[in-house]
Each structure stands twice: as C-alpha cells, then as structure tokens.
C-alpha cells in the first residue's frame, strides 16, 4: 500500500536529497495505518501457545487487560496490559523489550518503564522456583516507577493465568488498538 508511485533514488542516505525525503515522509502515515493490523496479527500468534501455562498466551494477555479495565484503568494502560507479552513467542527471554519498543512512542514514561521492566518484577512471584533471585526487582527500588510496576504485576499480570476467569475477547480491544495505533495528524 502506497500513497504515490514516487520513490527515492539514492543508494545510501548520504546521497539522499530533499526530494527523496519528500517522497518518503508521506509513506510514514501509510505504514502507521497498518500497525494496528500488525499488532492484532502478532497477538494472534499468542493464541493456542500455552508454553506449559494453564492458559494460552493470548488468554493471559486478555486477562491482564480485562482485569485492568474492570479496575478502571485508562486506555493507555489497557493497551500496555494487552501488549505486555506480545513478544513472548518472538523473543521469550527479551519479550518485555519487544513490547516496550512497540509502545514507547505512544505511552507515558511510567507505562513504558512498567512494560520494559515487568519481566523482572514478575520474577518476584516465581523465580525462586527456577533458581533465580526473586528479589532481582529490588535493583530498581530507586525508580519512581517501582511501585507502579509492582502493582501492575501484583494486580493484573501474575494473577492472569486463571482458566475459570472470563476475559473480554480480543475483538473487544480491536477498536481501542485501531484508535491507539492509527495514523496521527501532523
């Protein structure tokens, strides 16, 4: 999908011209208009991937978002809750960085930090079972977002493995994602 058939002609950035960039920059909104579809596609990869957990990774994400929604959190927080584990199947050991990278241009510093560090904070609940330091999150005690992130994990993330919980379906969050990631006015 493109807005024009005009394309840049350079072979390296240092050869580029103002005219080249005039052809490229309008495409940013076109690309941005596809982000919600791509995010929904990536969330779809979490469906039926249990990884040994009691619920699949998508249900975990939906439970996390639903719990936050039912607790009255704002839309930005809900998007963070829904996407916090979006990178689980792509980069399991570094999944918080994947989600944080997707969200960073759109969310507050507090929500970005929360998503970027939730993995270590989540470890508080189980790392001692796998030979890791459950108190590793304490290295971040000086962060102004420590309590905020600890609360996210305690109230929404670590409890979102309940096969009896009735979460909202992904379709419930689709309009929110389309608005959140849709093209922005310049």
CATH number, domain of 72, equals 1.10.3210.10
Report yes or no on 19 lying in a domain.
Answer: no
Report yes or no on 111 lying in a domain.
Answer: yes
Angle ∠(88,94,95) on CA atoms, nearest 5: 30
- Residue-level pLDDT at 82: 98
Q: Under 8 Å CB-to-CB from 94, ≥6 apart: which residues?
A: 87
Residue ranges of E strands in the chain: none
Q: If we measure between CA atoms, which residue out of 112, 114, 121 comes closest to residue 139?
A: 121
Q: How many domains does the chain have?
A: 1
Report yes or no on 157 lying in a domain.
Answer: yes
Contact assessment for residue 172 and residue 68, using Cβ atoms and an 8 Å cutoff: no
Report yes or no on 24 lying in a domain.
Answer: no
Q: Under 8 Å CB-to-CB from 3, ≥6 apart: which residues?
A: 26, 27, 29, 30
- Cα 115 to chain center, whole Å? 7
- Residue-level pLDDT at 126: 97
Query: What domain range includes position 52?
Result: 37-181
Report yes or no on 125 lying in a domain.
Answer: yes
Contact assessment for residue 183 and residue 32, using Cβ atoms and an 8 Å cutoff: yes
- Residue-level pLDDT at 5: 73
Report yes or no on 14 lying in a domain.
Answer: no
What is each CA distance from 150 to 48, 87, 98, 145, 154, in whole angstroms?
28, 20, 20, 8, 6
Report yes or no on 4 lying in a domain.
Answer: no
Report yes or no on 153 lying in a domain.
Answer: yes
pLDDT in single tens digits along all 186 residues of the chain: 545 578 899 999 999 999 999 888 888 888 888 899 999 999 999 999 999 999 999 999 999 999 999 999 999 999 999 999 999 999 989 999 999 999 999 999 999 999 999 999 999 999 999 999 999 999 999 999 999 999 999 999 999 999 999 999 999 999 999 999 987 655
- Residue-level pLDDT at 33: 86
């Amino acid at each position: 999908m493109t807005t024009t058939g005009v394309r840049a002609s350079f072979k390296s950035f240092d050869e580029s011209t103002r005219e080249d960039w005039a052809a490229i920059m309008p495409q940013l909104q076109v690309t941005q208009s596809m982000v919600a579809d791509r995010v929904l596609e990536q969330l779809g990869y979490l469906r039926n991937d249990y990884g040994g957990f009691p619920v699949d990774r998508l249900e975990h994400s939906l439970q996390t978002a639903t719990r936050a929604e039912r607790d009255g959190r704002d839309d930005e927080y809900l998007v963070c809750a829904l996407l916090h584990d979006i990178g689980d199947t792509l980069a399991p050991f570094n999944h918080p960085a994947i989600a944080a990278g997707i969200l960073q241009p759109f969310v507050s510093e507090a929500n970005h930090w929360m998503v970027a560090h939730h993995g270590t904070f989540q470890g508080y609940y189980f790392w001692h079972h796998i030979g890791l330091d459950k108190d590793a999150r304490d290295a971040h005690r000086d962060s102004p977002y420590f309590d905020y992130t600890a609360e996210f994990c305690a109230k929404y993330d670590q409890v979102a493995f309940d096969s009896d919980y009735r979460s909202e379906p992904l379709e419930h969050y689709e309009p929110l994602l389309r608005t959140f990631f849709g093209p922005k006015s310049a």
